[in-house]
A and B are shown apart, each in its own frame.
Chain A
Amino acid sequence: MTADGTRGPRWWTPSLLPYVIALHLARVGFAATAAYPFAAITSRTLGSWPGGDAQVFEPGGYLMMEVVRLHRAALWSAAEQASLLLLLALPIGAVLEGLLLSALTCTDGRSFSRVAGRVASAAGALGVLEVARLIVIAGVTLTTYVLVQGLRPTLSEWVGIKAADIGAWMMAAMGVLLVLAVEVMYDVSRAAAVLEGLDTPRALVRGFTLVGTRLAACAFGYGARAAGALFVVVIGWQLSAAVGLATDGRAAVTATLQQVVLIALLVLRVSWLVRARELLGEKGHCTSAHCAP
């Protein structure tokens, strides 16, 4: 609910559906492209065997190891290519989520041209925020790594190996928490840039201010969904393992389960963006001047 009591669109609002579907298709499309070389390599190794690639998942992994052993170089190359695809997915993901954020605004401004127009006008801020996000996350990761590696030997001498290991894990956990905090800040600032038309510095200040003043709401809003995502992944993995891939029928069920997991993750993501918009307050709701026709 917005600050003035009006509700913005929810994640299931039909007008959002095209953007959610586009986001899902884009992710799956990129993912399928990235995964294809691995499947092709497997097919060329085991395609003539009666069990096909089901043998990769047989207990003991005898033929999975064979695929890896015979095509180690090709698999590494495919992994590098997948990483490059991920780089390409970064700006496209930012644009698609920008469209989704833009569509979260008032009903009178939700035509595609207006939605896209808001994203276009905020493109500079979105780009800068994305780069800033990546730099900060890389910095946090690197700093955490250096701290862990640098302090661990000393800690080990002071408090013993086990306590030092636990200390290192706590430092790593702190690093993860910092990264999550950056993600929250990024999402809120980005929403402010798109929905309120703020430039980068002001969007950042807005994000900082909001997180500072509504810390518990932000932490709970993001944390609950992150925990939910983890839960969905674990349950999905367990269910997939239980169903297995022994027959085509089971494999089809497993593949469907995997799609359900992806969609559930997407719903959680969209739900968080909706919540971020709500946290921004009245400037994000329908009567905003920015949304006026």
Chain B
Amino acid sequence: MFALLGATAAVLLARGWDARVVDPAQPDAQPSEPRLVQPLAAAPSPSPQEPVSERLDPSFDRDQAMPVRARAVASYTMRAALDPVAHTIVGTSNVRWTNASTQPVRELYLHLYLNAFKSERTTFMAQRVPGGRGTGALLDAGHLTISELRVPAMSEDNLWPWARPADPTNPDDETDMRVPLPAQVAPDSEIEIEVKWQAKLPAIVERSGYWGTFHMVGQWFPKIAKLQADGTFAHFAYHHLGEFYADYGDYDVTIEVPSRFMVGATGERVGDTIDGDRRVVRHVQRDVHDFAFAAWDGFEEHVADAGGVSIRCLVPRGYGRAAAKQIEAATFGLQYFAAKFGAYPYATLTIVHPPTGAEEAGGMEYPTLITTGGPWYEPSWVGVARSLTLHELAHQYFYGLVGTDEATWPMLDEGLATLAEVDALQAGWGAGAALRVPGLSLSAFAVLRGMGLQGGQDAVIAQPARSFSSARTYGTLVYARTALLLETVGRAYGDGIQGTVGRYARRYRYGHPGPSHLLGAVRDVLGDAAAEALRVGLFDRGWVDFAISDMRCDAERDGSGQHRCELVMTRRGNLRLPVQVDLLLEDGTRQRITWEGLEPQELVVHTGRSPVIGVIVDPEHRIMLDEDLANNAMTTHSRAQAWRVHALGTTLAAMVIGAIAR
């Protein structure tokens, strides 16, 4: 059976390979030179709940419609030296920053995320919500201190002494800093900013920090906040549930570590030299909006090539099995996502598997670098490692290449990444993607449904991360329910949601889209009703429960031999979706009708020679958000006994009794 699984994966891998070089929308078409399409400077929509007015035509289903490059708004050339004993990084940054807005700018906002771990009084620490990572005690604080910030074109003065926390309600939070500039920066003008800084990494907490000699260095350098089209900055304090948002740029980073350390970092490694007891590596990457690296003297390196993308997997020593599994998933995912959402534009992908004890660093995405986790021995019939790898890889698109605002609209990255992950698992590993033992399998979609319906109406999905009151609610809504909602809308109004998401991903590559852009894509591919259903689901705590409430059949009294059957169908909840209904007739045939589901209840009358003996609402499980499938079927026969379950349960219980009760 496992050989069969392997063969299936191999076939799918081959399909993925093909899909990379041939446009899946037009498999017979020859690859052509990409057109140069400028990335969007996404103008804010009047309302995030309203679809954008721009129409997305089918040309955006093809890679040729994608922009080739991002506009480099904030490019960083940095040099950083890691001291793994003191857990400090001394660094310098040279930032080329362009005012990409339409307004002159007189100030800068800088995110110093590591300051979230400076004390218990920061916004991150003081406003932590129950659940999730980052809730443990702060074992060793971290911080990011700027000593100098200069804009030579404006003044030789150090501007940092004038910097102040941007959030006046919490002066103890220095994750969001405002720096006044001595002169204004005109639209489309560029300035160079020189920064000298020192970072102290915390003991591993919420993605960053150290564990022994392992160092996960994320959110570690002074970073300019995203400039919006109207000249304002999307700046925010680092919150427990929140993530990040930044402009695209080109990164050139030189990292110095002890010579025994191995470094995995964003981008291509263009230099790696040993100088005495120090190792100096240089990584460069265009068209990204963040940079992270991991350094450790316990790494074991595994490499692979996936259709021209160089995969480098750094795992703890002895984790070869885990590396193989993650590389297999990443190889498949790169090809699959490229076919669905547009070509992966980078030459490298680095996978970092943190050691046991540093789990909080795992399961995170950075441009061209993802972190995973899990034991070295995960058996092949369990799919956790591949699920995690595919999820983080999907983030290369949903957050990475579209550049959404993770802090304000987390469902746009986590929800879409979850959707892409589950879809890839289904395509690559089928019904047993989550679990496969002889006679029993569990698909990724089944697991997704189990997660997304637990407390799925507890809060609005489309809200900033900081507005969620618990990590459990955040996880349920932002990850699972968003994916369930999108899949439901796609299946209810078409053949799935992937085509829509593909058009969205290509159109808004490097474009910083918001919810209105996703709504617009759904409108243009699946129709207005679909977009409205998505809006209700995202913004109005949309839910739905289809049920067959009643059924009655009587023979017509006119002697015609006809039967008149009345069925009462019910839609509970505020999501209006069309649904298929199968009528099972006594002669063994089925008749399918579609109920638009516009009203809460509808009486359906069926007349025919053969009476209806059963009804199934949504027989193909298109409405994945349906709260209760037990009420989706009704029969005139007596309820079937679950004798298969009883027989199996009896056997298992008898074995346990035989083993214990002696």
Contacts and interface: CB of A to CB of B under 8 A. Distances in A.
A45 B630 contact: yes
Contacts of B375: 165
Contact of B647 (A43, A162, A163, A255): A255
A170 interface: no
Interface in B156-196: none
A89 B657 contact: yes
Given A31-B650, A53-B642, A69-B453, A160 B439 contact: no
A160 B355 CA distance: 10
A168 to B, nearest CB: 11
Given A31-B657, A160-B318, A269-B658, A40 B642 contact: yes
Contacts of B316: 160-162
A65 B447 contact: yes
Contact of A165 (B317, B376, B441, B443): B376
Contacts of A56: 642, 644-645
A93 B649 contact: no
B622 to A, nearest CB: 12
Nearest to A52: B640
Interface string B626-662: 0011101111000111111111111111111110111
Contact of A93 (B438, B655, B657): B657
A10 B439 CA distance: 36
Interface in A238-274: 238, 240-242, 244-245, 251, 254-255, 258-259, 261-262, 265-266, 269
Interface in A267-284: 269
Contact of B645 (A31, A53, A65): A53
B641 A162 contact: no
Contact of A39 (B453, B628, B642): B642
Nearest to A65: B446
A40 B641 CA distance: 7
B614 interface: yes
Interface string B412-431: 00000000000000000011
A210 B657 CA distance: 27
B318 A162 contact: yes
A258 B376 contact: no
A120 interface: no
B48 to A, nearest CB: 31
A47 B649 contact: no
Given A48-B634, A49-B633, A261-B651, A160 B431 contact: no
B356 interface: yes
A156 interface: yes
Interface string A196-235: 0000000000000000000000000000000000000100
A32 B454 contact: no
A65 B662 contact: no
Most B-side CB within 10 Å, residue of A28, A40, A62, A68: A62
A58 B566 CA distance: 31
Nearest to B316: A161
B650 A28 contact: yes
B633 A62 contact: no
Interface in B376-430: 376-377, 430
Interface string B305-329: 0000000000011110000000000
Interface size class of B (residues with CB under 8 A): 35 or more
Contacts of B439: 57, 237, 240-241, 244
A60 B441 contact: yes
B450 interface: yes
B651 A161 contact: no
B432 interface: yes
A68 B450 contact: yes
A261 B440 CA distance: 19
B656 A86 contact: yes
- Provide the main secondary structure of the chain A interface: helix
Contacts of B661: 27, 30, 86, 89-90, 92-94
B449 interface: yes
A186 B659 CA distance: 13
B628 A70 contact: yes
B658 A258 contact: no
Given A47-B639, A50-B633, A60-B445, A97 B644 contact: no
A89 to B, nearest CB: 4
Nearest to B377: A165
B651 A97 contact: no
Contacts of A59: 430-432, 441, 443
A251 B641 CA distance: 13
A46 interface: yes
Contact of A35 (B319, B649, B660): B649
A183 B662 CA distance: 10
B362 to A, nearest CB: 14
A14 B356 CA distance: 59
Contacts of B435: 61
Nearest to A59: B431
Contacts of B453: 69
Nearest to A161: B356
B616 interface: yes
Nearest to B649: A35
B446 A241 contact: no
A82 B643 CA distance: 18
A66 interface: yes
Contacts of B449: 62, 65-66, 69
B370 to A, nearest CB: 21
B446 A62 contact: yes
A186 B661 CA distance: 12
A54 B318 contact: no
Given A64-B446, A237-B438, A265-B655, A53 B644 contact: yes
Contacts of B653: 30-32, 34-35, 82
B621 interface: yes
A35 B318 contact: no
Nearest to A255: B647
B657 A27 contact: yes
A62 B445 contact: yes
A89 B317 CA distance: 48
Contacts of B319: 161-162
A42 interface: yes
A69 B376 contact: no
Contacts of B643: 39, 53, 251, 255
B280 interface: no
Nearest to B451: A69
Interface in A84-124: 86, 89-90, 92-94, 97
A42 B645 contact: yes
Nearest to B637: A48
Nearest to A34: B653
A54 B446 contact: no
A63 interface: yes
A44 B639 CA distance: 8
B442 interface: yes
B584 interface: yes
Contacts of B660: 86, 89-90, 93
A145 interface: no
A43 B642 contact: yes
A66 B438 contact: no
B651 A258 contact: yes
Contacts of A245: 644
A36 interface: yes
22 contacts: A31-B651, A35-B646, A35-B649, A35-B653, A38-B646, A39-B641, A39-B645, A43-B639, A43-B641, A46-B630, A48-B640, A49-B640, A53-B640, A60-B446, A93-B661, A94-B662, A156-B356, A186-B662, A255-B647, A258-B648, A258-B651, A266-B658
Q: Which 8 A/B pairs are nearest by Cβ-Cβ distance?
A: A35-B649, A93-B661, A241-B439, A162-B318, A47-B639, A241-B438, A59-B431, A31-B653
Interface of B: 316-319, 355-356, 375-377, 430-432, 435, 438-443, 445-447, 449-450, 453-454, 584, 614, 616, 621, 628-630, 632-635, 639-658, 660-662
Given A32-B646, A34-B649, A64-B442, 4 more contacts: A35-B653, A49-B633, A86-B657, A255-B647
